[in-house]
Chains A and B, each alone.
Chain A
Amino acid sequence: MDYFAGVTDALRVTFVQMMLISALAMGIFVVGMYMNLKKWGMGSTGYGDTPSKSILAFPKMLMYQMNEHAHVHNQSVLETFVLDILFQRRILRRSPLRWFMHFTIFVGWMTLFALSFAMFFVEMVHMIGEKVGYAHSLPEFMYPEIFRELLAVPNDIFSYILLVGIIIAIYRRLFVAKVREATIAYDSILLIGLTIITISGFVADGIRTGRFWGFGIDAEIAPPMALFHVVISLLFCIAYIPFSKYIHVIAIPLALLANKGGE
């Protein structure tokens, strides 16, 4: 059983191996988030109260704040979710260029994540179908080869959207003096990691299809390149979240909710 983004029999990445890596990434993520929750839970559930040291302290305090009356902004959870979390208007208010940079990263990343997940799902359903015997009754688009072709164009589009954001971010970190001087490893690791993943994705696809991003590299290298892309994506984009600046993907929406979109 071959698996994922063009990995062929040549490398024999088995479903089991892939599942193991995915499970490992998820496992590390869950353990990391549990540790974060415990760390946050060392705080109290009310201003000036003593630390509760319970794993529930964070959800409790979050609920308390979300239900508390705010004097300045008292906006609804829905407004916070749509305008502040999805649309990220707090970044837009400060700097349209930075908003554009981040929004392209955000939309690109989220969509590619969703598309990869959909691909994974289709392969699963199909594979189980083959074992159980319903595979032949699946609609045509649910065949992995066909589904992959369906995703090819959106995959391309959102990869480029992501790339645009990354290029702006790299430019800022390298060439805007104030940003460069304030950059620490915490910032650069996130950006470097994301860049490597994105570029490796382009290259893996390019080698497979023999187009621009292949740089004329022999198609035989396609499977290991694809494997590399998949493995670091899983480890960096999922497992590493709780331990890096990636945590902002979870923590910023939580802060926005807790503070009703902020002052």
Chain B
Amino acid sequence: MAKREPSINTENFTAVQLMELDSCSRCGECVDWCPTYDASGKDPGLAPRDKILRWREYMNKSYGLRAKLFGPKEIPEEEIEQFKDDVYGCTTCGMCATVCESAINTVELWESMRANLVKRGNGPFGKQGAFLKLIGEYKNPYMADNKDRTNWFPEDVKIEDKAEVLYFGGCTAELRQRKLALATARVLNKLGIKFTMLGEDEICCGSALIRTGQYYVNDVAKVNAQKNIDNIVAKGAKTVLYACAGCYRASIIDWPRLTGKELPFKVVHITEFLQDLIEKGEIKWEKSIDKKVTYHDPCHMGRHVGVFEPPRAVLEAIPGIEFIEMDRIKDNQRCCGAGGGVKAGIPDLALGVASTRVEDALATNADLLSSACPFCKRNLSDGRDAIGAKELEVEDVIVLTAEAMGIDLSDTPE
């Protein structure tokens, strides 16, 4: 009889990640902090600890001592399908990595599990499967004409053909949340900073593909990252600005990893850029925003890259704003629920997490919940609507900045 093949393989795992499966001490900290586990009504399958346990058992069934002696033990297909569903019920927020007593790099581990399962034919989850085709075809996941990225900017917005500063707008801000993109462009204009954009040459940063484990299929994410890099260089940019946490994380961490090279430019979040100008006294405020404002750290900018202070510095500098913190902030922040493909794949779960985060904001009695990412804004707004907290405004830091600088955004096209 032919020896049975193992039910799983180790594609897309690094050797260190396979070791990390053995380093979980099962302390349970991750379970206490996971936002999707919490919002799912404590579905045991979503607990990070449990996902590690299951994959470790799969490894041992397939490649452990007993498998070596008597052949691998079969893992029923339904079990793997269930595991796939569970591993996609995660926003890649990184909270489990922050609290992990064993310092396991969990986010990368979940992404490797997803990539492995995509390759195996199980993943991705629901609507996420369309990302690859859409991004391949349209260069953005919204099925929009790529020309529409920047051709809608009102006449007054001046975008240089070439400049040392480039604003990488990102699909969500350019195609769906244009107020944010317009605010960024007009703030830069008003500050007299000459900047350029990629326009229709811009391609999705790859975040959606990478987070959902589809990055290596036909090398799409890598090819696109390289094209973006080449186009940015061709524009003469030395500094690239981002007002989207997802694109920012993808550029600063994933692009070098995908292409195997350091980036030939600096990756800067718009709030970092503004903080610097504020410190130099180069921003003139014209309006006071008399509101109590709290701030939600986007996971992909905060925990993943460590940018915590700049958005706070901007908010504190805006006249009139009374800045107030929520309980869970910075390293300890609670995710908005949108990331990791959850918004597209499991919208109910995303909404559940968002509602909890909105409750956090309501507990501070703030008038306005701000963030620095269009994706967070979108999901937090949905969460607010879901729990009917009409009085709470949700807005991006860059939009508040624009308003305080006396910039009118009422002409933003849909």
Interface residues of chain A, those whose CB is within 8 Å of chain B, are: 32, 35-36, 39-52, 57-58, 60-62, 65, 71-72, 84, 90-91, 94, 98, 178-179, 182, 184, 186-187, 243, 245, 247-248, 251-252, 254-256, 258-259, 261-263
Contacts and interface: CB of A to CB of B under 8 A. Distances in A.
Contacts of B319: none
A52 B40 CA distance: 38
A256 B102 contact: yes
Given A36-B19, A51-B10, A248-B25, 13 more contacts: A40-B18, A43-B16, A44-B15, A71-B304, A71-B305, A91-B27, A94-B101, A182-B26, A252-B102, A258-B19, A262-B98, A263-B100, A263-B105
Contact of B18 (A42, A49, A60, A248): A42
B15 A94 contact: no
Contacts of A61: 14-16
B18 A187 contact: no
A72 B216 contact: no
Q: Which of A47, A252, A262 is packed against the most chain B CB atoms within 10 Å?
A: A47
Q: Which of B12, B215, B305 is packed against the most chain A CB atoms within 10 Å?
A: B12
Contacts of B108: 47
B100 to A, nearest CB: 6
Contact of A39 (B16, B26, B63): B63
A263 B303 contact: yes
Interface in B30-70: 31, 49, 53, 59, 63-65, 68
A261 B258 CA distance: 24
Contact of A178 (B19, B28, B94): B28
Given A61-B16, A243-B65, A251 B23 contact: yes
B10 A252 contact: no
A44 B306 CA distance: 27
8 contacts: A42-B15, A48-B216, A52-B15, A252-B23, A252-B25, A262-B97, A263-B98, A263-B103
Contact of A46 (B14, B49, B215): B14
Nearest to B107: A263
Contact of A51 (B11, B49, B115, B305): B11
Nearest to A94: B29
A57 B15 contact: yes
A255 B104 contact: yes
A256 B103 contact: yes
A47 B257 contact: yes
A186 B101 contact: no
Contact of A94 (B94, B99, B104): B99
A40 B29 CA distance: 25
A62 to B, nearest CB: 6
A181 to B, nearest CB: 10
Contacts of A187: 26
Contacts of A255: 16, 19-20, 23, 102-104
A15 to B, nearest CB: 31
